[in-house]
């Protein structure tokens, strides 16, 4: 379980005053990394608007009960209707399957849950397509100085390529003026200053 979102404060000086909101696509789950609370608290410190989005109404209700603004929607749909400037985006939805040919029982259950409840096929190709669509919309709304952070996205030196959730989105964003600020096994931080 990565916590790449905790790198965001390292780049706040370069961002300067935030003129846009902080958004999260893929709310945290009970017992996981607590990213939604971390980002909400950060937004409060920076006097910025924060909203998290998740497709699962159970997760949205759990986050909302903590007083955190949450929207129940598919990430691409939420971003398609979101019209405010964005200064920081954290993308952690649509789980990446690290070993698709060797799945554990909980992964099979999760795939079935998303298929049955949301008509979504959890697979790595669709995961990358979803993140690319989200990144394209965020880039349209992004303030001049902004961060876009991807969970489960990393530079794979051996093949000279990005892998994981943002494997298709990172090259797109780099072509639009973003630079890699940090990349590790559990995430990548991009910035445009």
Question: Worst-scoring range by mean pLDDT, 45-49, 96-100, 171-175, 189-193?
Answer: 96-100
Where b means 16+ CB within 10 Å and e means fewer, 69-82 reads: ebbbbbbbebbeeb
Alpha helices in 23-123 (DSSP H): 35-46, 57-64, 75-81, 105-118
What's the pLDDT tens digit per position in 170-182?
Answer: 999 999 999 999 9
DSSP label of 10? G
pLDDT at 2 over 70: no
Q: What percent of the chain clears pLDDT 90, i.e. is strictly above it?
A: 76
- pLDDT of 96 reads 76
85: CATH: 3.40.50.150
- Structural domains of the chain, count: 1
φ and ψ at residue 74, rounded to 5 degrees: -65, 140
What's the pLDDT tens digit per position in 61-98?
Answer: 999 999 999 999 999 999 999 999 999 999 999 887 77
Q: Give residue 39's domain range.
A: 4-192
| 99 or 59, which is more confident | 59
Q: What is d(CA 161, CA 128) in angstroms, rounded to the nearest whole number?
A: 13
Q: What is d(CA 181, CA 150) in angstroms, rounded to the nearest whole number?
A: 12
Name the band, by pLDDT with cuts 50, 70 and 90, for residue 112. Answer: confident
- pLDDT of 109 reads 84
Question: Worst-scoring range by mean pLDDT, 8-22, 96-110, 113-127, 179-193?
Answer: 96-110
Contact in structure between 2 and 33 (CB atoms under 8 Å): yes
Give the DSSP H/E element, type plus range, for residue 52: strand 50-54
């Amino acid at each position: 379980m990565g916590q790449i979102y905790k790198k965001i404060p390292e780049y706040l000086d370069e961002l300067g005053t935030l003129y846009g909101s902080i958004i999260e696509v893929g709310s945290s789950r009970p017992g996981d990394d607590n990213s939604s609370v971390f980002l909400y608290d950060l937004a409060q410190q920076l006097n910025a608007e924060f909203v998290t989005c998740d497709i699962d109404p159970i997760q949205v209700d759990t986050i909302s009960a903590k007083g955190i603004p949450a929207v129940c929607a598919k990430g691409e749909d939420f971003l398609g209707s979101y019209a405010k400037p964005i200064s920081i985006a954290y993308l952690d939805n649509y789980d990446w399957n690290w070993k698709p040919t060797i799945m554990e029982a909980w992964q099979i259950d999760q795939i079935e849950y998303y298929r049955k409840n949301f008509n979504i096929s959890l697979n790595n190709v669709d995961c990358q397509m979803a993140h690319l669509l989200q990144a394209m919309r965020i880039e349209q709304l992004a303030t001049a100085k902004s961060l876009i952070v991807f969970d489960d996205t990393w530079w794979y030196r051996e093949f000279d390529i990005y892998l994981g959730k943002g494997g298709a989105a990172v090259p797109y964003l780099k072509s639009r003026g973003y630079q890699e600020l940090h990349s590790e096994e559990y995430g990548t931080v991009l910035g445009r200053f």
